[in-house]
Amino acid sequence: MASGTLTIDLDAIAANWRGLDRMSGPGVQTAAVVKADAYGLGVTRVARALAGAGARRFFVALAEEGAAVRQALGPGPQIAVLSGHMAGDTEMIQDLDLTPMLNSLEQITRHLESLPGHPFGVQLDTGMNRLGVEMVEWQAVAPILIEAGPELLMSHLACADEPDHPQNAAQLKVFHDMTDGTGLPRSLAATGGILLGPQYHFDLTRPGIGLYGGLPHGGAIPAVTLSLPVIQTREVARGEAVGYGCTWVAERPSVIATVAGGYADGLLRSLSGKAQLWDGDTPCPLVGRVSMDLITVDITDLPEVPRALDILGPHQGVDALASMAGSIGYEILTALGPRYTRRYQERPA
């Protein structure tokens, strides 16, 4: 075995989608956000599992990602592209029946001129100042655009993971101001917005991270384990150092396992000296610096040398690992590198 094994529990992802669908409430459609290769977990298998659970609308960041989802699912499900209709994407949008969420007057013009009659949505900027049509522009184009029949008016919350943040109510109000009376389907909530409550749900919710077991959805079922093989071990005497920079020095005679996996595999360098790896239920400290392809682990207290150690699993999930690295679960997941063997767990249908 050369690389680590990333095990992805597709049943957990499907169960998380069903849970978020129930929380979204009756009469509200629940989409699935599968951008960035389904948050690093592999979009082909993940999108099929979500379609199996009942998802009919999928969101990706880029048209190329939409192509991969169409390939996985075939015709039928709607695939929405959050970056909208970018220059050079027209053919792909048409051929693969993607639905761009138009973000600017430039994109609106490009879309209506190059693909008249092709489905689209509009992303509105309600205060995040990142993507979307702004209030003044919207007031100018809304009358014409509503005529053209957008499939969705959507916006995105900047602070949904902080329920008490005043930005949530402020954006909700702007979204109402921009969309009330249009009679068109609307969407404001990602995972965090679903948790904020029904007034944020509108007609469609768009969870991503909650499907994959991450915060802010505390009730999500963890979906990944990551097991890293031990390549070799060595005994170090008291006073000897381990790894780049000699940042860790043995305080007792120690057994150090060198494990396959490093920052090139998404084990962030800021985890140096902070994370634990697990042999079943026993934690073993990561010692010294994370290097590109390797980490070193103090296994002195284990009765024997394990074949592999887990860095993500029941004792240490993506958010626990993220907080040790000063990051968020989203970054841990999407940083998981291409070198792992991805194993999918799924109950036979």
Ligand X SMILES: *Cc1c(COP(=O)(O)O)cnc(C)c1O
Would you tell me which residues interact with ligand X (CB under 6 A)? 33, 35, 82, 156, 190-192, 206-210
Instruction: Tell me whether residue 192 or residue 243 sits nearer to ligand X (CB atom).
Output: 192
Instruction: Tell me whether residue 121 or residue 261 sits nearer to ligand X (CB atom).
Output: 121
- Amino acid at site 65: E
Asked if residue 206 belongs to a known ligand binding site, the reply is no
Sign of CA dihedral 98, 16, 314, 321: positive
Instruction: Tell me whether residue 32 or residue 309 sits nearer to ligand X (CB atom).
Output: 32
Instruction: Tell me whether residue 204 or residue 287 sits nearer to ligand X (CB atom).
Output: 204
Instruction: Tell me whether residue 35 or residue 289 sits nearer to ligand X (CB atom).
Output: 35
- Cα separation, 96 vs 75, whole angstroms: 8
Asked if residue 324 belongs to a known ligand binding site, the reply is no
Active site residues: 35, 244
- Name the nearest CA neighbour of 130 among 157, 148, 98: 157
CB of 209 to ligand X, least distance (A): 4
CB of 218 to ligand X, least distance (A): 14
Which residues are known binding-site members? 130, 292
Which residues are known binding-site members for substrate? 130, 292
